[in-house]
């Protein structure tokens, strides 16, 4: 497929672009220019510029939305405004452009942060997001924007609720309190590939976690919907 990756030069983009480019024809849309190794087809622009988004959307079969607000000045009013501009307004404009262009597959980058405490949720029951902090709320509202667009444009939209995506090297050495649930980059990339292959009716939100044994986070819904499960292993017995 011809896949437009919105915000492909960020942290998650660096994890997944090589895998996407092996299987699909990738076009990157971002404010920052990617290295040639990441993408040969690049359009520079902002998700808050509807004309630029529409131009980049031309001729595409699917969209992967990775854009997120700035990390600088985290927690300040200026940061909050910029975060909502990207994760809600920019997402809305991108979905409208996709609908107008006849795109029928859309993969949205969400986060387990849509929950106040994602470790306490039963993810097999499709729990309702309840976050009210700025970042979690922006992702929560973004999912609602996706659900509305899926109905309006008869579009297949999948939100991937990522848990701590990081490079495989960082994942191998992670010693944080979330070590058991964070996700290796290779598994993140496999989730996006599976979501692009998935064609379903309407909107779905799926948890993506590296909790191999499902001891804390039960990701079995993603296995059912995507055929996905985390494959990276820290003991060297699996792929990483």
Nearest of 82, 88, 85, 79 to residue 110 by alpha carbon: 88
pLDDT for 239 beyond 50: no
**148-185: pLDDT as tens digits:** 999 999 999 999 999 999 999 999 999 999 999 999 99
What confidence score (pLDDT) does residue 135 get?
A: 95
| In contact, 153 and 201? CB cutoff 8 Å | no
Query: What φ, ψ does residue 147 adopt, rounded to 5°?
Result: -60, -40
Find tokens 């055929």 and name the residue: 227
What confidence score (pLDDT) does residue 181 get?
A: 98
pLDDT for 240 beyond 60: no
**91-111: pLDDT as tens digits:** 999 999 999 999 999 999 999
Round to whole Å and give the CA distance between 7 and 83: 13
Q: Which residues contact 206 (CB under 8 A, 6 or more apart)?
A: 158, 159, 160, 161, 191, 195, 219, 221, 222, 225, 226
Round to whole Å and give the CA distance between 154 and 151: 5
The answer to whether the Cα torsion of 151, 153, 156, 162 is positive or negative is negative
Helical (H) or strand (E) element with 126: none
Nearest of 22, 20, 25, 18 to residue 1 by alpha carbon: 25
Strands 156-162 and 105-111, bridge-based pairing: parallel
What confidence score (pLDDT) does residue 210 get?
A: 98
Could you tell me which residue, 46 or 72, shows the higher pLDDT? Answer: 46
**30-45: pLDDT as tens digits:** 998 877 667 779 999 9
What confidence score (pLDDT) does residue 36 get?
A: 67
Q: Average pLDDT of the chain?
A: 94
Helical (H) or strand (E) element with 64: strand 62-65
Helical (H) or strand (E) element with 59: none
Band (pLDDT 50/70/90 cuts) for residue 16 is very high
Structure tokens belonging to residue 229:
């499960």
| In contact, 45 and 53? CB cutoff 8 Å | yes
Could you tell me which residue, 158 or 239, shows the higher pLDDT? Answer: 158
Q: What percent of the chain has pLDDT over 70?
A: 97
**203-227: pLDDT as tens digits:** 999 999 999 999 999 999 999 999 9
Helical (H) or strand (E) element with 103: none
Round to whole Å and give the CA distance between 119 and 123: 9
Q: Which DSSP letter does residue 218 get?
A: -
| In contact, 59 and 33? CB cutoff 8 Å | no
């Amino acid at each position: 497929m011809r896949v437009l990756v919105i915000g492909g030069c960020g942290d998650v983009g660096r994890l997944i672009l090589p895998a996407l480019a092996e299987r699909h024809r990738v076009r990157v849309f971002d404010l920052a220019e990617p290295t040639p190794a990441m993408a040969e087809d690049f359009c520079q622009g902002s998700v808050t510029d509807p004309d630029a988004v529409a131009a980049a959307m031309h001729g595409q079969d699917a969209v992967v939305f990775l854009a997120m607000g700035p990390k600088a000045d985290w927690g300040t009013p200026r940061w909050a405004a910029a975060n909502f501009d990207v994760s809600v307004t920019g997402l809305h404009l991108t979905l409208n452009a996709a609908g107008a262009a006849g795109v029928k597959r859309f993969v949205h980058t969400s986060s387990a942060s849509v929950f106040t405490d994602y470790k306490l949720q039963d993810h097999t029951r499709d729990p309702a997001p309840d976050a009210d902090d700025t970042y979690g709320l922006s992702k929560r509202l973004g999912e609602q924007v996706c659900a509305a667009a899926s109905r309006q444009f008869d579009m297949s939209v999948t939100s991937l609720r990522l848990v701590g995506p990081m490079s495989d090297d960082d994942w191998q050495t992670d010693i944080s309190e979330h070590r058991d649930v964070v996700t290796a980059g290779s598994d993140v990339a496999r989730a996006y590939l599976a979501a692009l292959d998935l064609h379903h009716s309407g909107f779905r939100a799926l948890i993506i976690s590296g909790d191999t044994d499902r001891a804390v986070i039960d990701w079995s819904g993603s296995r059912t919907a995507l055929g996905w499960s985390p494959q990276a292993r820290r003991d060297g017995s699996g792929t990483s």
